[in-house]
Structure 1
C-alpha cells in the first residue's frame, strides 16, 4: 500500500507543532485520527519515525531523513496547486507573514480587508515579533523588516521607507519645557529601545556629528510600547513616521528640535528565502502592500 499525502501532512505537522493534539487542531482533525495516520505511515515504511514519551515526541534518525523527503513532496504538491490556482487567476494557500508589532498594527492590519477582498482564497497568518526571527524555523513565508538588512542569505524586496523624528506629547512639553537645543535633552526624560543600540542613535545634528547617542531613562523592546509611553507623557522619543503619522496629525505628539533634525529614513523590506518560482500568493501580497504604501502620506514626507 502506498503512502498518502494525508499521512505525510500529519507527520510533518506533528513535527512542526510538537504534539499530536496541536497537529490535530491545526489540521482540523481529531487527535486519534492523526495518531492513526502516523501509525499507518510507520507500518507502511516499516520504521519508527517518532519516539513517543509521556513528555514529548522526538524524531528518530529515520524520521529525520524521511521528514526532508516528506517536506519536499508536500511543497511540490502545494506548488502544483498554486500553479493551477494562478491559471484561474485565483492565488490560494496559506501565507505566513511576520512583522514587528508597530508595523503589523499600524500598516499591515488596515490593509488586510482589502487584500482579502481581492484574494479571498489566500489564508493569511499574521505573526508579530519585535525580534528578528529565523524564517525557516518559524515556518514564515515573508518577514517585513525595518532598517538596514544584515542577513545576506535572504532575498529582499524594497517596499518603501519611513522617516524618523524626535517627538513628545504636548502635556510632557508643558510640564517640563520644550528643549531649545540638543544639549537640553540631557535634562529631559528620554525613551529608547532595549536593543539594538543603533535605534538609540537619534538623527540630531550636534557638536559630535550627525547622530546623537542617547541614554534612555525608560527602555522598551517594542516601538509600540515606546509610542504609548510618549503619548502618556512619559518623555521624549524617536520613532518612525509609519506609526506616528496619525498622532502628529491630531496633535497627540509633536516634533521637537525640528531645525536640528536630519532627514533620516528607515528602509522597509520584505524578506524571504525563495528566489525562483516565487509562490503566487507571496507575489500577490508583496505587490498589494507595495501598491498601498505608495499612497500613504508618511512615505512621501
Structure 2
C-alpha cells in the first residue's frame, strides 16, 4: 500500500504535538483513530518510527529520517499549491522595474506588448539607470543587475547569463585592420566604460592571464553609448551578447579574437526586497522575462 500525504501529516502532527491526544485535537480526529493511522504507517514502512510509553514518545533513527523527508515533502506540496493559487488570480497594480539602458532596450522593451496582453492589470514603470539604484530610494520593485552581486539584504533570482564579445564595425576594420592577438590591441582605438573598471577587463587569454585590462581612448557610462560608437566605426569594444546579437547577425559589428576569448559569461540577476503584497506581480514578471531570455 502506498504512503499518502495524510499519512505524512498525521505523523508530523504527532511528533510536533508530543502526544497522540494532542495530535488528535489538532487534526480533529479521535485519539484511537490517530493511533491506528500511525500503526498503519509503520506497517507500510515495515519499521518502527516512534517508541511509545505511557509517559512519552521518542523518535527512532528511522523515525527521524522519515520526519525530515516528510517535512520536506509537505513543504514542497504547500509551495506548489501556493504557486497554483497565485496563477489562478489576476495580478494587478504598479510594478516598477529598473535596469541598465542596454538591457531595458534589448531585453525588456521588445516584450512589453506581450506582457501587457497577458497581465493587463499591471501598471509597468520602466526605468533605465546605468548605475546601481537604491530600490527603496527610487521606489523600485525589481532591479535587473548584470554581473556579481554585493547586496546581501536583497533577494536575488538568477535569470540568465550572457557571453562577452570583442567587436568592431566593418568600416573600422577596413580602415585600421583586424587585430590577430590581444597584444595587437595596443595599436588600436579602444572604447570602454567610465566609472566601471570591471567593464574594462576584457575576457581574453594572453601572456599576463585570462583578463586583458584596456585603457580606453573613448569612455562612456552607458553600454548603449559604447555600442553606438562601435557601430559608427569609432573603435573596438567589449559588450554583452544580449545587446549585440542582432548587430552581429546583421553584420553591423564583427566578433574579433574569438580564439582568445575565455568564454566568460556575465550573470543576469533580478533583485528585490521580499514583500508578500508584491510577490504576485514580481513572480509573473520574472517568470515571463526568464522565458524570454
- Alignment TM-score, normalising by the size of structure 2: 0.69
* Partner SS, residue 105 of structure 1: helix
1:175-211 Cα offsets, whole Å, 9 max, x none, are: 0000111111000000000022011000010111000
1:105 aligns to what?
105
Conserved 8 A contact 1:169-1:232: yes
Say whether residues 1:257 and 2:257 are aligned partners. Answer: yes
Say whether residues 1:221 and 2:229 are aligned partners. Answer: no
Counterparts in 2 of 1:182 and 1:230: CA distance versus 1, 3 Å: same
* Partner SS, residue 259 of structure 2: coil
Counterparts in 2 of 1:238 and 1:166: CA distance versus 1, 3 Å: same
Farther off after superposition, 277-286 or 124-133: 277-286
Gaps of 5+ in 2: 1-84
* Partner SS, residue 161 of structure 1: strand
Count residues with an aligned counterpart.
209
In the TM superposition, residue 258 of structure 1 has moved relative to its aligned partner by 1.1
1:234 aligns to what?
234
* Partner SS, residue 90 of structure 1: coil
* Partner SS, residue 258 of structure 2: coil
* Partner SS, residue 199 of structure 1: helix
Q: CA RMSD in A?
A: 1.5
Say whether residues 1:151 and 2:119 are aligned partners. Answer: no
1:150-175 Cα offsets, whole Å, 9 max, x none, are: 11111100000000010000100000
Say whether residues 1:182 and 2:165 are aligned partners. Answer: no
CA distance in 2, matches of 1:180, 1:94: 51
1:75-109 Cα offsets, whole Å, 9 max, x none, are: xxxxxxxxxx9586210000000000000000000
In the TM superposition, residue 225 of structure 1 has moved relative to its aligned partner by 0.1
Conserved 8 A contact 1:190-1:235: yes
1:197 aligns to what?
197
In the TM superposition, residue 118 of structure 1 has moved relative to its aligned partner by 0.3
Say whether residues 1:170 and 2:154 are aligned partners. Answer: no
Larger radius of gyration: 2
Counterparts in 2 of 1:195 and 1:123: CA distance versus 1, 3 Å: same
In the TM superposition, residue 279 of structure 1 has moved relative to its aligned partner by 2.1
Gaps of 5+ in 1: 1-84, 294-301
1:137 aligns to what?
137
1:249-268 Cα offsets, whole Å, 9 max, x none, are: 01110111111111010000
CA distance in 1, matches of 2:122, 2:86: 12
Conserved 8 A contact 1:200-1:213: yes
In the TM superposition, residue 276 of structure 1 has moved relative to its aligned partner by 5.3
Conserved 8 A contact 1:167-1:236: yes
1:56-75 Cα offsets, whole Å, 9 max, x none, are: xxxxxxxxxxxxxxxxxxxx
2:68 aligns to what?
none
Farther off after superposition, 126-135 or 269-278: 269-278
Say whether residues 1:274 and 2:274 are aligned partners. Answer: yes
1:209 aligns to what?
209
Counterparts in 2 of 1:88 and 1:203: CA distance versus 1, 3 Å: closer
Counterparts in 2 of 1:88 and 1:165: CA distance versus 1, 3 Å: closer
* Partner SS, residue 149 of structure 2: coil
CA distance in 2, matches of 1:257, 1:143: 33
Conserved 8 A contact 1:155-1:275: no
- Alignment TM-score, normalising by the size of structure 1: 0.68
